[in-house]
A = this chain, B = another copy of it.
C-alpha cells in the first residue's frame, strides 16, 4: 500500500465496482430429490455455529454442521480477548460486584443507545449462564480476569492459551462425543424456500476449495426444523463494506479470517431477510501497516496511550485524543489519510508496556527503537523542529496533568518523554461488523417487512443489533455463544 492514498482509494470504489451482470434475485427451485435430510443445519464452525449444534442435538434434533473452509473455527479461533461474564468465579474471588444490568448499561452506553435492547438483554442476562455452561459442561479453562476499556468493572475471563481455540477445541470435542457431524469444505450457496417463503433447505457446494468459486459439486440438503446461520461478519468483503462505509476500501486490511466475506448474509437477503446497523463497522486504530493480521502493535499502542503521544508525520503534530475510543482514533487516522506515528520514551515504555510485546515488535520490524528524537524524526520523515515542539508541549501537559489540546487522559505516573524512544506506524484495519441480519430475542430472522422469516435462525457476527454503534471488547464472545445456544434450541424446537 502506497501512501498518501489518492482520493479514489480513500473515498471508495464501492459502487463503481458493481458488476452489471445477470440479476441474481431469482428464487432457487425446490429440488426434485434432496441429497440429504436433517432436522437442524448449522452453517459455520465459529462459536455460534458450534454452540447451536450442541444445543440443537441436546434438544433432540438430528444435526449437521457445515463450513466452507478446510479447517474449523472460523474467525472465532482468532479471538484474543476473552469472555465478558458478569458474576464469574474470578470476580467473586476478587470481591468484584457485577450484574447483568451493569453489563447491559455498559453495552448501551458504548453502543450509543443504538442497540436493539431486546437483543442486548439476551446477551447481558445470558452471559453468566453460558459462562457456567462453557466452564462446567464444555470444560473450558480460563486464565485470569481482565479489565477492558468501556466496561465498568473487570469482568473478562481471558483464554488459558490466548486464543479462541481454547473454546473451539472443547466445542469440537463435545460434538465428536455427541456424534454430531462437522462437515468442512461445504459452502452454503442458497436457501430453498417453499410456497409460503419458509426456509426448507439449502443448496450447498460440497468439496469446495476456498476461495475457488467453481470448485465442488452442488448438493441439496433438506432441513426439517430450522437452519442456524452463523457465518460471521463481512470485514473481508470490500464491496459490501464500502457500500455501507465508503471509506473502507481495499486500502484497508482486515484483522479477520479471510473467510469473513458475508455471502451467508447475502444468501439470507435473497430470501427476504432484513438487515440493521449495517453502517457501523468497527476499525481497530492500533494496527500497523508493517506487520500482518492483528499483530503485536495493538498491545504496544494500548499500553502506551496516556504516556506517549501520537503524531501526524506530515505536520509533526498531535491530532487526536490518544485515549479516545477505537472509533474516534481510527476515524482521525483515516481523515489524515496516511499512517500515524505513536512514540513513547524508553522510561515510560519500560514501566507500562510488556517487554515481550516490544521484543516481538522489534523482531518483526513493526516497532522501532531510536537513540534520540532527532533520529526518530529522520526515520519517519518528520520535521524535527516541529516534532520537538510537539513532544515539549506534551511533556508540559504531563507536568500539568492536563491536555489543553485534545483532553487526552494522562496517567498519574506518566514521566516526561525524552532520551531513547520506541515507536510504530499505525493504519486502521477493519475489525468487526456491528450490523447484520435483524433477529429477535429467539434468534429468529426478521424479514424486510418485519415479519419472522420461518425456518431461519441466526447468531453471532452475521446478526446486527446487539452492540449498537460500538461493540465492547470481549462481549462478542458472550454474544456468539449465548445467541448460538438460543438459536440451536429454537431451531430444534421449531415445528415445521
Contacts and interface: CB of A to CB of B under 8 A. Distances in A.
Interface string A14-27: 11111111111111
A15 B243 contact: no
Interface stretch (A30-38, A57-65, A211-219, A267-275): A267-275
Interface stretch (A176-184, A440-448, A474-482): A440-448
B450 A243 contact: yes
How many copies the complex holds: the figure is 2
A239 B450 contact: yes
A266 B14 contact: no
Interface of chain A, main secondary structure: loop
Contact of A449 (B246, B270, B276, B449): B270
Contacts of A438: 15, 243
Interface in A453-483: 453-454, 465, 468
A444 to B, nearest CB: 8
B25 A245 contact: no
Contacts of A448: 25, 266, 269-270
Interface in A275-304: 275-280
A489 interface: no
Interface residues of A, number: 66
A377 interface: no
Interface in A332-378: 334-335
A116 B246 contact: yes
The 10 lowest CB-CB distance pairs between A and B, nearest first, are A25-B272, A269-B448, A279-B279, A23-B197, A25-B197, A24-B449, A26-B197, A11-B117, A18-B450, A20-B452
22 contacts: A15-B118, A15-B440, A15-B446, A18-B446, A19-B450, A23-B196, A23-B451, A23-B452, A24-B447, A24-B449, A25-B447, A26-B197, A113-B247, A113-B335, A114-B246, A117-B246, A239-B450, A240-B450, A275-B275, A275-B278, A279-B279, A279-B435
Interface of A: 10-12, 14-27, 108, 113-119, 193, 195-198, 239-240, 243-247, 266, 269-272, 274-280, 334-335, 435, 438, 440-441, 446-454, 465, 468
